[in-house]
Amino acid sequence: MVLGDKTNLLAQMRRGAIEYCVLALLRKEERYGFDIVRDLAATSGLVTTEGTIYPLLARLRSEGLVETTWQESRQGPPRRYYRITPEGEFALAGFVQEWERFRDSVDQILELGGAS
Amino acid sequence: VNNTPANAQIADYMARLRTALQDIWAPRRDQIIADVEDHIAAALDEMKDPTPADIANLLERIGDPEQIAAAALSDDPGLAPPSAARPGQGPGWVAPVTSGLAIASLVLSILWLAGLGSLLAIILGFLSLSQIRRSNGRTGGRGLAIAGLIIGTVGVLMPLAWLLLLRPAVSNSATSSAGSAVNGQAAAAQAAAEQAEAAQKAAAAATAAMAVPHCTRGYHLAVRDGLVSHGRWPLVARYQFVTLKPESSSSYGNLLNGRADGTSARVFTGAQSIGGHWHFVGTLPVPAPNAQNVGSNAVIQFTGHYQSGTLYLVEITFRTTAVTSRTFSICGLLMTEGVSSAVTTTAASS
């Protein structure tokens, strides 16, 4: 990775975290794909191209971390809603634990080095 | 919904997405496409009278189809080869290497090597199967190993089946032939075979004797010499018998009644013992061939009894075969102890 290559840096960091962000978005309620994508896109920098979330969602579903249901929508055809599974909850809990430790470690190092 | 230009934009986008995702594992691809379609539908729901620019903006936010495909592959590299989705073949799946043990198993099973190859094929077949199982998809050739196992098993079972089913039958027949009942038959058969052999020998000897000008066939008597007197008619046939074994003269006392050309006459002129072998010598006139006697026989017969009533018959036939070419044959028929044979000697007269 070339230093200063911001796009690549973000892509690398996003790769490990984004699927847990999706799981976190589903922790409280089930959502349909468009909703998830819009929320992720609304958070600056996490999603640049909305379509790229769908391959991730499809993989999470095949791994059993999320599941889908069809629900009637007020307008138009029924929508596919995503819901987190117990396996997804477990994976998310594990990530949260690791993430906090990782984030603290990185922050600590950055402060030690005098970065602001 | 009835916005045709928008529909065309979207349809074009979806077509590009399908093309970009065509190498992705189908179930995953179908889900991504369905999700994107849902996304577009949901976005359109929120818009009132979307302009082509709105649609373009929407599609731009979703992203380039190639980007989505790239994201799908980088998110899950196992999606790349169409076959990668088979169970147990996750990310980083590579074509399995055929098990060498499986190949060896199949080859040995076919070679058979008197059952040794089959045994080795079975062992190697099992080894390669467990190797393939443990390789987690890196080693292939399960079909080869199973083929080697099956052919190897057949190669072992066939000789075993032969031993179990056929051998008892063979040994049974061997045992029964040792039985006393069959023993008599065997002895009879052996005797018959010996008789046949003797007859065959006799026949062969007779044939050989016939080819010999000087007849030596006979148990006690032999036609030693045919006759030929050349030049003038009537020919004088001269004959001589000699005993093959030294005998006392009294043994041949009853050899008598020689007959020439149908005429009963005492034709032998004398018997003399030379070193114990008795020689009987006689002469016979043979008429000149003419239209009448061509093909007729001049016959000399000796009959008599020897010791305990055994019949001896000696017959000498002179045959004129043509008026100008005078060929004679002399044939002795000796009946000794049930075995008869014929001897022929041929001479030509100019």
Q: What is the pLDDT of residues B281-312, one digit of tens each?
A: 555 555 555 555 544 444 444 433 333 333 34
Phi first, then psi, for residue B139 (nearest 5°) are -115, 135
Quickly state the pLDDT bin for A66 (edges 50, 70, 90). Answer: very high
What ipTM, to 2 d.p.? 0.81
Q: Residue B14 pLDDT more than 90? A: yes
Residue with tokens 């020998």: B201
For B139, half-sphere exposure in the C-beta direction (CA atoms, 13 angstrom radius) is 17
Which among A49, A58, A76 has the least Cβ separation from residue B28? A58
Which among B17, B45, B65 has the least Cβ separation from residue A75? B45
Per-residue pLDDT at B16: 93
Flag if B36 and A62 touch (Cβ within 8 Å): no
In tens, the pLDDT along A89-101 reads 999 999 999 999 9
Q: Residue B27 pLDDT more than 50? A: yes
Distance CA A15, CA B255 (A): 135
Per-residue pLDDT at B299: 46
Which among B42, B43, B71 has the least Cβ separation from residue A55? B71
Provide, as residue numbers in chain A, all residues whose Cβ is less than 8 Å from the Cβ of B32. 54-55, 58
Q: Are the beta carbons of A26 and A82 closer than 8 angstroms?
A: yes
Q: Is the dihedral of CA A6, A12, A16, A20 positive or negative?
A: positive
Q: Residue B168 pLDDT more than 80? A: no
> Could you tell me the CA-to-CA distances from B274 to B64, B249, B278, B279, B302 in Å, in that order?
136, 11, 6, 7, 21
B residues 16-55 closer than 8 Å to A (CB): 17, 27-28, 31-32, 34-36, 38-39, 41-43, 45
Quickly state the pLDDT bin for A111 (edges 50, 70, 90). Answer: confident
B124 by Cβ neighbours in 10 Å (0-12 / 13-18 / 19+) ranks as buried
Helices B142-177 and B116-134: crossing angle in degrees, nearest 10, is 150
Q: Which of A12, A34, A39, A73 to probe by mutation at the B interface, max B CB count within 10 Å?
A: A34
Which among A32, A51, A76 has the least Cβ separation from residue B36? A51
Per-residue pLDDT at B278: 55
Q: Which residues of A touch B (CB under 8 A)?
A: 15, 32-35, 37, 41, 48-52, 54-59, 61-62, 73, 75-77, 79-80
pTM for this one? Answer: 0.42
- Closest residue by Cα to residue B13 from A92, A44, A51, A105: A51
Per-residue pLDDT at B222: 37
Distance CA A115, CA A59 (A): 37
Q: What integer best gives the mean pLDDT of chain A? A: 83
Q: Are the beta carbons of B39 and B63 closer than 8 angstroms?
A: no
The radius of gyration of chain B's CA atoms, rounded to the nearest angstrom, is: 55
**Chain A: residue nearest B13 by CA?**
A51
Distance from CA of A50 to the nearest CA of B (A): 4
Flag if B39 and A37 touch (Cβ within 8 Å): yes
